[in-house]
Chain A
Amino acid sequence: DGGITQSPKYLFRKEGQNVTLSCEQNLNHDAMYWYRQDPGQGLRLIYYSQIVNDFQKGDIAEGYSVSREKKESFPLTVTSAQKNPTAFYLCASSRHGNTEAFFGQGTRLTVV
């Protein structure tokens, strides 16, 4: 079935460690997005990519990095520079020029 797969579902990180969240889609969508969701704050855009080998910072990119080497994949690295990384992370994709985004099931990251 077509869709977006995020892994892992739950992730625990020690302070000072970098971690990478996976996002894969087989919808043949050009655009991919990473959002962070905190209670009471809705979804905030971290990074997005409209095409392979190109990506742009969103509203809260500090402490995060991404790559887009393949159309299907858009991994997000949460670096040690991110001061408050505990959150629910959602990956999404859409056809180029179509804002109807499809979401993955999310990864809940907890810093311990």
Chain B
Amino acid sequence: EDKVVQSPLSLVVHEGDTVTLNCSYEVTNFRSLLWYKQEKKAPTFLFMLTSSGIEKKSGRLSSILDKKELSSILNITATQTGDSAIYLCAVDKKGSNDYKLSFGAGTTVTVRA
């Protein structure tokens, strides 16, 4: 059975802190790993990672994939209250024509002013 595990489940930080979120996976025929941010309702896409060791960046957010360790981290530097959200990790498998994602439980980040 495929597994996607995120840690921690929740954390509280103060503005300006740096946050590191973890996602580990056990899936057969891994294809890609995606990160989403869910503030209130709809998750919004952040990154898609397919190659190990290549960091993707967008402003204060960055993410990297380690295929050897079957994991990924999402970093948020200089956090702001607007970063408060649930961060979801999802994994896609190859081998079939079905493109469906397996999601982790998410990490709830709360940034206090």
- The interface of chain A, by Cβ under 8 A from chain B, is 4, 31, 33, 35, 40-45, 48, 50, 56, 58, 90, 94, 96-106
Contact = CB atoms under 8 A, between A and B. Distances in A.
A96 B35 CA distance: 19
Contact of A103 (B31, B32, B43, B98): B43
Contact of A90 (B34, B42, B90): B42
Contacts, number: 58
**A35, A97, A100, A104 — which one has the most chain B CB atoms within 10 A of its CB?**
A100
Interface of B: 4, 6, 9, 31-32, 34, 36, 41-45, 48, 88, 90, 92, 97-106
Chain B interface, >50% SS class: strand
Contacts of A41: 105
Contact of B103 (A40, A42, A94, A97): A42
B105 A101 contact: no
Contacts of A100: 34, 45, 48
B88 A106 contact: no
Contacts of A31: 99
Given A44-B103, A101-B101, 6 more contacts: A41-B105, A43-B43, A43-B90, A58-B100, A90-B42, A99-B99
Contacts of B103: 35, 42-44
A98 B97 CA distance: 11
A58 B99 CA distance: 11
A33 B42 contact: no
